Amino acid sequence: MSLDQYVTLGNSGLRVSPFCLGAMTFGEDWGWGSSAADSDAIMARFMERGGNFIDTANVYTKGHSEKIIGDFVGRDRSRRDRVVIATKFFGNLYPGDPNAGGAGRKNIVAACEQSLRRLQTDYIDLYWMHAWDRFTPIDETMRALDDLVAAGKVRYIGFSDTPAWQVAQAQTLASLRGRARLIALQIEYSLLERTVEGELIPMALELGLGVTPWSPLRGGALSGKYTRQNAGTVTADRGERVTTALGDKAYAIIDELIRIAAEHATTPAAVALAWVQSRPGVASTIIGARRLEQLDQNLAALAVTLSPEDVAALDKLSKPMLGFPMQFMSVATMFSHSGATVNGEKSIVWPLAPASDAERY
């Protein structure tokens, strides 16, 4: 696979590259990240390779990330038309103002106008709700987003970091009322975060949402930089985001990534990214880069094809404990199919089932 082998995002006609360029590191306003010049170089390289999907948010580096993207695409109309810009609302840039964040109509409209100004464009390709707002009725959020789509200021909408039941409710309301439907779901997903496979991934598959995983390397924990051998001696740039993820299970996964990477003549990070991108429902994985060489290293994952044995080994080591009822559902076919094979899935005979007609009442 290459960066210019595009996929449609969810149940839509929007074509995006299989990797999305995450722009949370654009700008040094948080004390780390890329300068504006370095960010420009990263975007230019990404587009030269065929990438067309860039993801940011109104609050990334205090709004500077959007401004950097706007300066880059705003100078060239053909460049703006070619790129798919995704940004988010929800985060508050005005401390003390309760209506400057969240998913209420007042903030959605204001945040959209501010993002359009910083991005130097008259439309946003994909507008995400950054997280679930439990203080706002979901119908209010969906109606406000539908109005923005109708006004031509937003092309498509999606949700990030939201419980499956709330996403399902929003999608159902939109369908019933003939409003703009969600096309994508942005969630954390990696070999160190697979609990999304309980409800969020199955929901996305059922409702036609393209999944765009964020933090596929868990902040760099799966980059290969942190190993069992150097445990506790290498400083993590992302602090607790990385250190809290490192333990016996993580090191077992990292050991396997290193082994597989050696067989494929690539890096552990490329293997970890290839694993995420191959998961059911995943459309475009969000990758970050502070330097050009990091971008090139991440893009190398597109050339990695994992064998079934590679995938099975990583799946086994990273298998998550899912919340109820998903763990229970894994044995449900035992007493629903009781030994029969359905859709290619074999079941075992339920030991409590009647063994003969004489035992049935």
Active site residues: 60
Contact 180, 157 (CB under 8 A): yes
Q: What is the rounded distance in angstroms from the CA atom of residue 267 to the CA atom of residue 257?
A: 8
Q: In whole angstroms, what is the distance from residue 35 CA to residue 39 CA?
A: 6
Give the phi and the psi of residue 223 in degrees, each rounded to 5.
-75, -15
**Would you give the DSSP letter of residue 184?**
E
325 exposure class (CB count in 10 Å sphere: 0-12, 13-18, 19+): exposed
Among 116, 115, 128, 114, which residue's Cα sits nearest to residue 162?
A: 128
Which 3 state secondary structure label does DSSP give 31?
Answer: coil
Collapsing DSSP to helix, strand or coil, 87 comes out as strand
Closest by CA to 160, choosing from 91, 85, 80, is 91
Q: Which two tokens stand for residue 357?
A: 């007609």
Asked whether the beta carbons of 254 and 224 are under 8 A apart, the reply is yes
d(CA 145, CA 167): 14
Structure token digits, residue 14: 């929007």
Query: C-alpha dihedral over 196, 199, 205, 211, to 10 degrees?
Result: -30
Q: How many helices (H) and strands (E) does the chain have?
A: 14, 12
